[in-house]
């Protein structure tokens, strides 16, 4: 069975999309690997540059392929075995598509590159990476991986023997670079659930959070969450969240003419006095004094 047929058989998508846009726009480009690659080299079965809007999701299972999904902007989520991970900008997700999973949009527009790959060495490299750091990869700031992904996408559009070989090499370059980055930094492996909590705080600081809610979501003791978050990030989770809110409030005070209570609600403090207490605790000044000392600049 050709990969396109296998893909469509394994796919469950959101039929609501058909009311506004053809599902074809959300499908990857399917390739036909040359016979030499199938048994000897890694190769790409399908690839795409997806611009997804609400509503958007799909589910896949029992597909003989390894998926590599790189988020460029917006965000999505990966749901597997009742657990979920946020796919924020700059993250790379690796998936064994034999396992049932769901991909859905979180922040629109969600723009990402996706590659479905197979071939010798891929099962081994996938297991090696997942065992070492999980399947959601947070790359270094100067990582070569985004460049490799861009080159791979370009080469796949140039269907010649030379560029097929280049594509096979790049697949290995990407996977080996993932492993090398982890070893090069020498930093400890940070559990994915802690990375996700930090990402959620960074992007959704205005929402209500509690240790009890985090405990329920991740099925991990709130005491362990506090201990491990502090161990890896040097600060407790609730203090990290408060610091994030204060940093956003400081920016709003100096870059807008919003009232103090408006800024408080914007960053997650419904009670203005709570904002004032937290702000003074962090900066030594009340929000009003801070604004007076730093002139407002409307960008």
CA distance 200 to 206: 10
pLDDT of residue 63: 96
Query: DSSP per residue over 39-104, as a string?
Result: HHS-EEEEEEEEEE-SS-EEEE-S-S-EEEEEEEEEEEEEEETTEEEEE-TTEEEEEETTS-EEEE
Domain over 192-293 is classified CATH 3.40.109.10: no
Q: Indicate the SS3 state at residue 225.
A: helix
* Average pLDDT of span 199-214: 93
Residue 74: phi, psi to the nearest 5? Answer: 70, -160
Say if residue 203's pLDDT is above 60.
yes
In terms of pLDDT, which residue wins out, 279 or 192?
Answer: 279
pLDDT over 90 percentage in the chain: 57
User: Who contacts 185 (Cβ-Cβ below 8 Å, separation ≥6)?
Assistant: 140
HEC per residue, 104-173:
EEEEEEEEEEEEEEECCCHHHHHHHHHHHHCCEEECCCCCCHHHHHHHHHHHHCCCCHHHHHHHHHHHHH
Question: 20: pLDDT confidence band, cut at 50, 70 and 90?
Answer: very low
**pLDDT tens digits for range 90-147:** 889 999 999 999 999 988 899 999 999 999 999 999 999 988 778 888 777 788 999 9
- How high is the mean pLDDT of the chain? 88
For the chain, residues classed under CATH 2.60.120.280 are 3-185
Helix or strand run (H / E) with residue 272 = helix 272-283
For the chain, residues classed under CATH 1.10.10.60 are 192-293
Tell if the pTM clears 0.75, that is, is over it: no
**pLDDT tens digits for range 58-75:** 999 999 999 999 999 888
pLDDT of residue 14: 63
User: In this predicted structure, which of 36-40, 251-255, 256-260 has the lowest mean pLDDT?
Assistant: 36-40
Integer angstrom CA distances of residue 129 from 84, 137, 175, 176: 19, 9, 8, 9
CA distance 15 to 7: 16
pLDDT of residue 298: 56
Helix or strand run (H / E) with residue 5 = helix 3-10
In terms of pLDDT, which residue wins out, 223 or 68?
Answer: 68
Say if residue 189's pLDDT is above 70.
no
Q: Return the CATH number of the domain spanning residue range 3-185.
A: 2.60.120.280
**pLDDT tens digits for range 230-248:** 988 889 999 999 999 999 9
């Amino acid at each position: 069975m050709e990969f396109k047929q296998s893909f469509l058989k394994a796919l469950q998508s959101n039929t609501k999309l058909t009311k506004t846009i053809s599902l074809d726009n959300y499908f990857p480009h399917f390739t036909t690997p040359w016979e030499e690659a199938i048994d000897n080299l890694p190769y790409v079965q399908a690839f795409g540059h997806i611009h997804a809007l609400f509503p958007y999701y799909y589910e896949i299972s029992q597909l003989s392929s390894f998926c590599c999904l790189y988020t460029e902007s917006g965000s999505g989520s990966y749901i597997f075995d009742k657990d979920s991970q946020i796919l924020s900008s700059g993250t790379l997700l690796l998936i064994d598509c034999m396992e049932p999973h769901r991909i859905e949009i979180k922040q629109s527009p969600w723009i990402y590159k996706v590659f479905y790959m197979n071939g010798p060495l891929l099962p081994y490299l996938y297991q090696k990476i997942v065992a070492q750091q999980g399947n959601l990869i947070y790359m270094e700031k100067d990582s070569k991986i985004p460049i490799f992904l861009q080159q791979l996408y370009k080469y796949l559009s140039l269907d010649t023997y030379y560029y097929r070989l280049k594509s096979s090499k790049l697949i290995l370059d990407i996977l080996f670079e993932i492993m090398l980055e982890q070893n090069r930094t020498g930093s400890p492996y940070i559990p994915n659930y802690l990375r996700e909590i930090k990402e959620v705080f960074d992007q959704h600081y205005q929402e209500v959070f509690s240790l009890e809610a985090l405990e329920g979501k991740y099925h991990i003791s709130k005491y362990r969450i506090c201990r491990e978050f502090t161990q890896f990030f040097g600060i407790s989770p609730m203090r990290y969240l408060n610091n994030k809110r204060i940093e956003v409030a400081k920016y709003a005070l100096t870059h807008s003419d919003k009232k103090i209570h408006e800024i408080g609600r914007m960053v997650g403090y419904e009670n203005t006095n709570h904002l004032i207490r937290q702000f003074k605790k962090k900066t030594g000044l009340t929000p009003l004094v801070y604004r007076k000392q730093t002139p407002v600049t409307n960008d």
